[in-house]
């Protein structure tokens, strides 16, 4: 675990919810089904999705901009800063997105910072059903800057 650190996730998770247009109905149904569990956590979402979730479920949702208007980049920045714990992103693999580079960057950051990420309903179900969702969890985050510096030094 050299070059890595443990980042404590508190029992009350900071969950970000995102869905592309053709996947919004699926995400809304999932949120409604899991409302009692999600109500125990802090919810965030990109603009339109967050508005739909709040209106349909009455849950408090902190909203970023709409994805194509910079929301995906705002979420990515919050992941990099350690301000979000879990990404639930129902993306549409069959529809090209005008902000596709932002989507790829967001997913890359979620992997880079080792946060649990669900891109479909089945994985989202597994995330909220695990006991780890309800308690503290130490996720391991590599120090990629240190690893890169060591690689450069080794190449001399």
CB atoms within 10 A of CB 66: 16
Query: Which of 20, 27, 62, 19 shows the shortest CA–CA distance to 42?
Result: 62
Catalytic residues: 72
Q: Measuring CA to CA, how many Å separate 43 from each of 30, 32, 85, 120?
A: 14, 13, 10, 18
């Amino acid at each position: 675990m050299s070059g890595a650190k443990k980042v404590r996730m508190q029992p009350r998770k900071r969950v970000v919810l995102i869905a592309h247009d053709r996947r919004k109905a699926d995400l809304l149904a999932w949120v409604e089904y899991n409302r009692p569990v999600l109500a125990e956590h802090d919810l965030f979402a990109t603009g339109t999705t967050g508005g739909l979730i709040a209106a349909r479920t009455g849950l408090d949702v902190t909203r970023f901009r709409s994805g194509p208007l910079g929301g995906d980049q705002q979420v990515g920045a919050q992941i990099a800063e350690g301000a979000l714990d879990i990404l639930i992103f129902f993306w549409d693999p069959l529809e090209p997105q005008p902000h596709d580079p932002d989507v790829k960057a967001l997913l890359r950051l979620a992997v880079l910072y080792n946060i649990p990420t669900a891109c479909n309903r089945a994985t989202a179900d597994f995330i909220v059903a695990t006991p780890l969702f309800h308690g503290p969890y130490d996720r391991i985050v590599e120090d990629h800057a240190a690893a890169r510096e060591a690689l450069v030094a080794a190449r001399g």
